[in-house]
């Protein structure tokens, strides 16, 4: 669907994107995450041609984004919907006119516009706000208007630039659920930029972590969290854990399945080793659950326990004292 290869972008002496390559599959929700200033939003602006790239290629659905005529650029952008952090609504126009604006620009008939607007307000759940002005809407409702407007031209791709950053946690979850519903109902590919890990956990199929203008790691969300690459640890930040000073602390990370739900008693039965469970937590990643468990064992039992974990292909590491 979207193929980016060796993309470069600079602003003067500031090299923002460095040889970026990634591919977004048709129908998936793909997340771009990283700290502020890593080039995430610039990458989106290069995809929809709001920024001119210095090098590399961008292909959308097999079509190279290399155009010489403004009409060709407009046709290309017609297939891309855009959602912004601060909504970017026409404050003097009501909800109906905001959603209708792109279709009016393209010369759609009044009947086509009316039918589409009324279809979209149902999809995003604001049928009762059709003639309200943006100033009378909550942040979540304003973002729903923006999403409806982004869908008005039946795009192949939806680009979301920090769409939930200005919203409270409860509203954020409702907007994320709406995006997931749109993805599943309409089959639209969604590429979203965020610095919020909860957004990635909730709805993304795959994720790319950006560092210093480069793609540091890319893959399925649950696999990234299972593998715990350095880029993820740096993004999350190292948090000091209060761990026992005696013995050896083993951190295990694994997917919750029927087979490993009894992992703790299984370790005891298989190794005859006594140990302490320091903590265990479950985190949901879209439709998968990842478990992180910390064990404390005596040093002489370390090899026996880890050898058993290896037979089960359970990822583990020794957690060092701070």
| Cβ atoms of residues 23 and 60 within 8 Å | no
Residue 310: predicted pLDDT: 95
Domain harbouring 182, CATH code: 3.40.50.300
Same domain, 97 and 129: yes
The answer to whether residue 321 scores a pLDDT higher than 70 is no
Instruction: Establish if 240 belongs to a structural domain.
Output: no
Q: Per residue in 18-76, pLDDT tens?
A: 999 999 999 999 999 999 889 999 999 999 999 999 999 999 988 888 888 888 888 88
| Number of structural domains found in the chain | 2
Residue where a domain stops, chosen among 234, 256, 286: 234
Q: Do 168 and 273 reside in the same domain of the chain?
A: no
Res 239 pLDDT > 80: no
Of 163, 159, 36, 148, nearest in space to 87 by CA: 163
pLDDT in tens, 92-142: 999 999 999 999 999 999 999 999 999 999 999 999 999 999 999 999 999
In-domain check, residue 239: no
| Structural domain harbouring 90 | 2-234
Is residue 65 located within the same domain as residue 213? yes
Of the residues 234, 258, 287, the one at which a domain ends: 234
Q: Pick the residue with more confidence: 197 or 118?
A: 118
The pLDDT of residue 240 is above 80: no
Report which of residues 71 and 208 the model is more confident about: 208
Contact 206, 224 (CB under 8 A): no
167 vs 143: CA distance, rounded Å: 9
Query: In terms of domains, do 275 and 217 share one?
Result: no
Average pLDDT over residues 160-173: 88
User: With 90 as the cut, is the pLDDT of residue 257 above it?
Assistant: no
- At residue 103, the pLDDT reads 95
- What's residue 188's pLDDT? 95
Question: Looking at the predicted structure, is the pLDDT value of residue 268 above 80?
Answer: yes
Question: Residues 80, 150: one domain?
Answer: yes
- Residue 322 predicted with pLDDT over 80: no
- Taking Cα atoms as reference points, which of 179, 203, 163 lies closest to residue 125? 179
For residues 71-85, average pLDDT: 89
Let me know if residue 268 belongs to a domain. yes
State yes or no: pLDDT of 238 exceeds 70: no
Same structural domain, 150 and 120: yes
Residue 69 three-state SS: coil
Helix spans in 48-164 (H): 70-78, 95-105, 110-124, 139-151
- Whether residue 276 sits in one domain with residue 198: no
CA distance 216 to 19: 11
Establish if 264 belongs to a structural domain: yes
Residue 107's pLDDT is 93
15, 143: one domain:
yes
Is 259 a member of any domain?
yes
Q: How confident is the model at residue 260 (pLDDT cuts 50, 70, 90)?
A: confident
Q: Is residue 26 part of a domain?
A: yes
- Output the six-digit token pair for 63: 């079509």
Distance CA 76, CA 13 (A): 30
Report if residue 193 sits inside a domain: yes
Work out the pLDDT band at 87, boundaries 50, 70, 90: confident
Question: Do 275 and 216 reside in the same domain of the chain?
Answer: no
User: What does the pLDDT read at residue 297?
Assistant: 96
pTM of the model: 0.87
Residues 134 and 221 reside in one and the same domain? yes
Average pLDDT, the chain: 92
Q: Tell me, yes or no, whether 229 and 253 share the same domain.
A: no
Residues 153 and 267 in one domain: no
CA neighbor of 232 nearest in space, from 209, 258, 248, 263: 209
- The CATH number given to whatever domain includes residue 315 is 3.30.70.260
What percent of the chain has a predicted confidence (pLDDT) above 70?
Answer: 98
Question: Considering only 116-125, 265-274, 283-292, which range has the smallest mean pLDDT?
Answer: 283-292
Residue 167 to residues 69, 86, 91, 209: CA-CA distances in angstroms? 38, 10, 19, 23
Last residue of a domain, one of 212, 234, 256: 234
């Amino acid at each position: 669907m979207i193929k980016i290869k060796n993309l470069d972008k600079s602003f003067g002496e500031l090299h923002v994107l460095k040889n970026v390559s990634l591919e977004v599959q048709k129908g998936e929700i793909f997340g771009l995450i990283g700290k502020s200033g890593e080039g995430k939003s610039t990458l989106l602006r290069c995809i929809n041609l709001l920024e001119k790239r210095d090098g590399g290629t961008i292909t959308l659905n097999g079509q190279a984004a290399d155009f010489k005529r403004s009409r060709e650029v407009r046709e290309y952008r017609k297939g891309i919907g855009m959602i912004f952090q601060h909504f970017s609504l026409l404050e003097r126009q009501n909800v109906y006119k905001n959603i209708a604006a792109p279709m009016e620009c393209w010369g759609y008939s009044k009947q086509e516009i009316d039918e589409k607007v009324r279809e979209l307000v149902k999809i995003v759940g604001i049928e009762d706000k059709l003639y309200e002005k943006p100033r009378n809407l909550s942040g979540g409702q304003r973002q729903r208007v923006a999403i409806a407007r982004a869908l008005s031209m039946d795009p192949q791709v939806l680009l979301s630039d920090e769409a939930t950053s200005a919203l409270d946690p409860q509203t954020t979850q409702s907007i994320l659920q709406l995006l997931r519903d749109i993805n599943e109902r309409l089959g639209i590919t969604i590429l979203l930029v965020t610095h919020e890990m909860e957004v990635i956990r909730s709805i993304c199929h795959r994720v790319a972590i950006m560092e210093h203008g480069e793609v540091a790691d890319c893959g399925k969300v649950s696999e990234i969290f299972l593998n715990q690459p350095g880029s993820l640890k740096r993004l999350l930040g190292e948090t000091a854990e209060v761990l026992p000073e005696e013995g050896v602390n083993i951190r295990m990370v694994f997917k919750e399945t029927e087979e490993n739900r009894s992992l703790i008693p299984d370790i005891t039965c298989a190794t005859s080793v006594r140990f302490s469970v320091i903590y265990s937590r479950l985190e949901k990643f879209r439709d998968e659950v990842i478990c992180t468990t910390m064990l404390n064992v005596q040093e002489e039992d370390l090899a026996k326990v880890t050898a058993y974990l290896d037979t089960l292909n359970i990822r583990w590491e020794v957690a060092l004292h701070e």
